Amino acid sequence: MKKKLVVLSGAGVSAESGIKTFRDAGGLWEGHDVMEVASPEGFRKNPTLVLDFYNQRRRQLFDVQPNKAHTIIAGLENEFDVAVITQNVDDLHERAGSTNVLHLHGELLKARSVNSYDSFEWTTDINLGDLHTDGYQLRPHIVWFGEAVPAIEEAIGIVQQADYVIVIGTSLQVYPAAGLMDYAKPNVPIYYVDPNPASIPYMKKPVEVIAKMGSEGMEIVWEKLKNA
């Protein structure tokens, strides 16, 4: 039986692929206040702006590729029973070869009705006036600030079963995702990879901080896991 390894990934793991994070710029995302483009209020106020914002993000996915951090994480499946729990809405983990990925905050390549959480594949632009078969406007399948995170209970259950946890590319500022590693069993090794790691003085778990970019940090973690 392979040991269970859980990867908790954030925007930083995709940054090396050219996908911009928003917290690096004082809360601005591509020049927008995040609440303008990533909240139900923002969507109600200016749906065209929000749809266009995600249309641009969706198009960008076709111009970027997984980086070495993604491929190392995918390769861990050769030795471990790996579950990736990601805050990212891109598909780079899957394209790198990861086969068990849970998206906490939704997926850019899916859409849904504003009246339902049931999502479906969607690879082109969503425009104002594009309606679901239920007659309601389509929206990106994204969990915006202020909305519930439906996958969080499943994610907690996965972390509780982990033998190893890797936290990579996250500022540990967005909840409930930031609290997931608290659910790891006592004495489970936790590797935290981020070039600007958040301070975690409250943690009573064995967290090893690796202050590196994702690709270099994952190479270090992989060597440590070989010797664990």
| Contact yes or no for 175/160 (Cβ under 8 A) | no
Residue 9 backbone class (left: φ over 0; alpha: ψ -120 to 50; beta: rest): beta
Q: What is the DSSP letter of 199?
A: P
Q: Which residues pair with 168 in a beta bridge?
A: 9, 193
Of the candidates 186, 147, 180, which has an alpha carbon nearest to the alpha carbon of residue 166? Answer: 180
Rounded to 5°, angle at Cα 142 from 141 and 147: 120
Cβ-proximal residues to 143 (8 Å cutoff; 6+ apart), any chain? 104, 105, 106, 149, 150
CA distance linking residue 160 with residue 188, whole number of Å: 10
Catalytic residue list contains 105: yes
CA distance linking residue 19 with residue 13, whole number of Å: 9
Residue found under tokens 């994204």 = 142
Residue from 32, 105, 132, 141 carrying the catalytic annotation: 105
**Residues acting as catalytic residues:** 105
